[in-house]
């Protein structure tokens, strides 16, 4: 093979490899809640005119880049505020035209708000063959007047995990309109309204899979208060709860079914005017789906005794099951390992000695009651010395708790030294991921910090679980530690000892009165700063000692009145 041929083959291989080389995904971390555009779409950087990375700017950059990108969304409320229509996300709603994952800080922390001005997301208006994923956020208050999908319009492949879609309005699909494929897990549709069909969402095509999710409190002016399933579309609902939705004019308060629908261990209950309007093929089931009426043709006709939609633990609100509900331990198939709240499934809810899955998105569990204690090793320490906190977490309820987490917010300016039990320290907070904690079980932790040059430390510990703990009064504990408080310097110098009755009275006044309020603590801190130098002068001068005792006499008298020193 001559050199020219070799060079030609090398060039072909090089060019082919360059063209086929994988495109690296970009990750953009949002650091501003402002709604501003990216300053330069060609620099591959998420930066607005003020030098910040906003949600809109991150999506614009993702649209301009090839590959599947990632947007990290912190806690906060991200309001859409730029008027107009532009399919590149520069104006109005947020148009996504490339594969993208947006991960929030949690559905109780990250809120994307259309403010009633626009739809929030339009997925695939230009490039339909993309994959988009939303996780851990609330998408709310979007409006698509004269159009589809008040919060989200999707013609691509979309997945939602621990997402709450709230208060969207549109002609079709108040919360969501999808003509592409859709996967929903541990999520909520609530408060959405369609002026025509599909209050919660409208499935105009594609394949939809919904698991461990709730569709509740949505309204359609015509059909399908919760879900409108068009002819030719396919939907499967596994362990879902469809309840308290309304179709005003015609049918299917919960479900309007013209396409292919399968319900597996799901609840359809308390919808108006009827749970289901089935105009296509009958609903297919696994033999253990529950209908509070007869319009769905399901396997179990009974009242599930649902609680109100509320925070029962987890990221999104759920309808709890009352004790004795026919949905408890009634599923015929294997359920996912957790329910909508991320609570472990299955649980033995009927005392049969066998853990079986509940029907619907919520797994009933006996009540948990987490209790945390917080004690220190010393009431008073010298500056620069260590303080040890002994922390105990107990489940004194009748049910097992899951995903238990202990957090210790350390006193400001202390130095973290150590923690037992596999706990981690970051940004002033010690986090101990305990995991499951059975009823009657306790775990203990020891956390050590170094005491700074301050007068007063306040250490707060809190414990949480995936399940709702109805007794929140014992989920936090605060321990206070004093620094350099062994004696009152000036009084000790004046009276000659730290243990005279006068000095002891002043110490009680400090501990029982001054240290109980912010002003008093600041006064004590000021005293600790200036008193040692004054005490040295008083200690060696009898006239100064006498004058100080005379000056302190009325303060001592007042302290006796305000404290237990009688």
Same-domain pairing of 409 and 464: yes
Whether 420 is in a domain gets the answer: yes
Number of folded domains that form the chain: 2
Average pLDDT over residues 32-60: 96
Residue 269 CA from chain centroid, whole number: 27
pLDDT band for position 146 (cuts 50, 70, 90):
very high
Closest Cα partner for 464 from 358, 332, 313, 276?
Answer: 313
Q: CA 501, CA 549: separation in Å to the nearest integer?
A: 13
Final residue in a domain of this structure, among 483, 508, 541? 483
- Predicted confidence at residue 286, as pLDDT, reads 92
Burial 200-215 (b: 16+ CB within 10 A, else e): bbbbbbbbbbbbbbbb
Cβ atoms of residues 203 and 231 within 8 Å? no
Same-domain pairing of 414 and 463: yes
Q: CA 257, CA 127: separation in Å to the nearest integer?
A: 29
The pTM assigned to this predicted structure is 0.76
CB atoms near residue 163 (< 10 Å): 30
Same-domain pairing of 477 and 524: no
- Please confirm whether the linkage preceding 312 is cis (ω < 30° from 0): no
Whether 472 is in a domain gets the answer: yes
Q: CA 301, CA 299: separation in Å to the nearest integer?
A: 7
The answer on pLDDT for 11 being more than 50 is no
Cβ atoms of residues 83 and 93 within 8 Å? no
Average pLDDT over residues 10-27: 44
The answer on pLDDT for 136 being more than 90 is yes
Q: CA 362, CA 283: separation in Å to the nearest integer?
A: 22
- Predicted confidence at residue 8, as pLDDT, reads 33
Beta-carbon contacts of residue 220 (< 8 Å; ≥ 6 apart): 174, 193, 194, 196, 197, 198, 199, 228, 245, 246, 247, 248, 256
Same-domain pairing of 497 and 526: yes
Same-domain pairing of 503 and 469: no
Beta-carbon contacts of residue 275 (< 8 Å; ≥ 6 apart): 242, 252, 253, 254, 255, 268, 269, 291, 292, 293, 295, 296
Same-domain pairing of 476 and 531: no
Average pLDDT of the chain is: 88
Whether 541 is in a domain gets the answer: yes
pLDDT digits (tens, 9 = 90+) for 157-183: 999 999 999 999 999 999 999 999 999
Whether 217 is in a domain gets the answer: no
Final residue in a domain of this structure, among 483, 510, 540? 483
pLDDT digits (tens, 9 = 90+) for 382-426: 778 888 999 999 999 988 899 999 999 988 778 999 999 889 999
pLDDT band for position 529 (cuts 50, 70, 90):
low
Maximum mean pLDDT: which of 4-13, 151-160, 472-481, 547-556? 151-160
Token couple for 35:
């709604």
- Predicted confidence at residue 451, as pLDDT, reads 81
pLDDT band for position 18 (cuts 50, 70, 90):
very low
Query: How many C-alpha atoms does 149 have within 13 Å on its Cβ side?
Result: 22
- Predicted confidence at residue 12, as pLDDT, reads 31
Same-domain pairing of 409 and 445: yes
Q: CA 452, CA 374: separation in Å to the nearest integer?
A: 20
Whether 196 is in a domain gets the answer: no
Within 106-203, strands assigned E span 110-113, 121-123, 131-140, 143-148, 152-154, 157-166, 169-172, 176-178, 181-185, 188-190, 193-197, 201-203
CA Rg value for the chain? 32
- Predicted confidence at residue 24, as pLDDT, reads 58
Same-domain pairing of 440 and 506: no
Cβ atoms of residues 68 and 131 within 8 Å? yes
The answer on pLDDT for 523 being more than 90 is no
Name 69's bridge partners.
Answer: 100
- Predicted confidence at residue 26, as pLDDT, reads 93
Edge-to-edge, what's the strand order for the sheet holding 370-376?
Answer: 370-376, 386-395, 442-450, 415-419
Whether 55 is in a domain gets the answer: no
The H or E element that residue 55 is part of is helix 55-64
The answer on pLDDT for 214 being more than 90 is yes
Same-domain pairing of 439 and 381: yes
Same-domain pairing of 473 and 388: yes
- Predicted confidence at residue 3, as pLDDT, reads 45
Q: Between these two residues, 430 and 530, which has the higher pLDDT value?
A: 430
Which CATH number goes with the domain that contains 456? Answer: 2.60.40.1510
Final residue in a domain of this structure, among 483, 514, 539? 483
What percent of the chain shows pLDDT beyond 70? 92
Average pLDDT over residues 103-113: 96
Whether 216 is in a domain gets the answer: no
CB atoms near residue 398 (< 10 Å): 12
Whether 344 is in a domain gets the answer: no
Same-domain pairing of 520 and 557: yes
Name 407's bridge partners.
Answer: 431, 462
pLDDT digits (tens, 9 = 90+) for 452-480: 766 667 889 999 998 888 899 999 998 87
pLDDT band for position 361 (cuts 50, 70, 90):
very high
Q: Domain of residue 509: give its range.
A: 489-562
Average pLDDT over residues 480-488: 67
Q: CA 445, CA 406: separation in Å to the nearest integer?
A: 10
Q: CA 558, CA 506: separation in Å to the nearest integer?
A: 10
pLDDT digits (tens, 9 = 90+) for 500-513: 788 778 777 877 77
The answer on pLDDT for 565 being more than 60 is no
Same-domain pairing of 382 and 405: yes
Place of tokens 């253990």: 288
Q: CA 536, CA 247: separation in Å to the nearest integer?
A: 83
Q: Between these two residues, 280 and 190, which has the higher pLDDT value?
A: 190
Average pLDDT over residues 43-61: 96
Q: Between these two residues, 554 and 284, which has the higher pLDDT value?
A: 284
């Amino acid at each position: 093979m001559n050199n020219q041929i070799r060079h030609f083959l090398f060039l072909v291989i090089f060019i082919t490899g360059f063209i086929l080389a994988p495109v690296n995904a970009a990750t953009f971390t949002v650091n501003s809640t402002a709604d501003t555009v990216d300053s330069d779409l060609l620099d591959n950087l998420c930066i607005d005119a003020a030098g910040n990375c906003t949600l809109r700017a991150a999506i614009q950059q993702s649209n301009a880049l090839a590959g599947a990108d990632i947007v990290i969304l912190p806690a906060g409320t991200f309001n859409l505020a730029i008027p107009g229509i532009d399919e590149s996300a520069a104006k109005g709603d947020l148009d996504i035209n490339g594969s993208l994952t947006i991960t929030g800080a949690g559905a109780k922390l990250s809120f994307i708000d259309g403010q009633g001005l626009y739809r929030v997301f339009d997925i695939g208006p230009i490039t339909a063959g993309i994959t988009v994923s939303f996780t851990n956020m609330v998408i709310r208050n979007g409006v698509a007047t004269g159009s589809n999908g008040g919060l989200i319009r999707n013609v691509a492949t979309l997945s939602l995990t621990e997402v709450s879609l709230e208060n969207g309005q549109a002609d079709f699909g108040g919360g969501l309109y999808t003509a592409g494929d859709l996967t929903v897990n541990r999520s909520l549709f609530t408060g959405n309204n369609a002026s025509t069909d599909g209050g919660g969402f409208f499935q105009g095509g594609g394949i939809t899979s919904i698991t461990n999710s709730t569709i509740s409190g949505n309204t359609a002016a015509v059909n399908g208060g919760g879900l409108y399933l068009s002819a030719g579309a396919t939907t499967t609902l596994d362990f879902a709860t469809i309840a308290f939705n309304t179709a005003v004019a015609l049918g299917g308060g919960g479900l309007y079914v013209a396409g292919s629908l399968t319900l597996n261990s799901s609840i359809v209950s308390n919808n108006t005017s009827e749970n289901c309007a089935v105009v296509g093929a009958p609903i297919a089931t696994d033999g253990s789906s529950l209908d509070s009426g007869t319009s769905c043709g399901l396997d179990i006709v009974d009242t599930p005794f649902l609680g109100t939609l509320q925070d029962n633990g987890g990221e999104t609100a759920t309808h709890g099951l009352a004790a004795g509900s026919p949905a408890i331990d009634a599923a015929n198939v294997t359920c996912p390992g957790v329910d909508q709240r991320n609570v472990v499934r299955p649980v033995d809810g009927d005392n049969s000695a066998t853990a079986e899955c509940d029907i619907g998105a919520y797994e009933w569990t006996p009540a948990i009651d987490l209790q945390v204690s917080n004690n220190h090793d010393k009431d008073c320490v010298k500056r620069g010395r260590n303080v040890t906190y002994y922390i105990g977490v107990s489940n004194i309820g009748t049910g097992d708790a899951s995903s238990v987490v202990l957090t210790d917010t350390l006193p400001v300016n202390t130095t973290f030294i150590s923690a037992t039990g596999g706990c981690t320290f970051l940004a002033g907070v010690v986090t101990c991921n305990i995991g499951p904690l059975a009823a009657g079980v306790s775990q203990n932790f020891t956390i050590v910090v170094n005491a700074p040059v301050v007068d007063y430390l306040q250490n707060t510990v809190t414990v949480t679980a995936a399940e709702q703990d109805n007794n929140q009064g014992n989920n936090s504990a605060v321990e206070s530690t004093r620094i350099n408080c062994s004696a009152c310097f000036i009084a000790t110098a004046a009276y000659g000892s730290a243990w005279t009755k006068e000095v002891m009275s002043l110490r009680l006044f400090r501990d029982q009165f001054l240290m109980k309020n912010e002003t008093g603590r600041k006064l004590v801190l000021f005293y600790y700063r200036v008193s040692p130098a004054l005490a040295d002068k008083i200690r060696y001068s009898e006239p100064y000692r006498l004058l100080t005792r005379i000056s302190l006499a009325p303060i001592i008298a007042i302290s006796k009145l305000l404290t237990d020193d009688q």
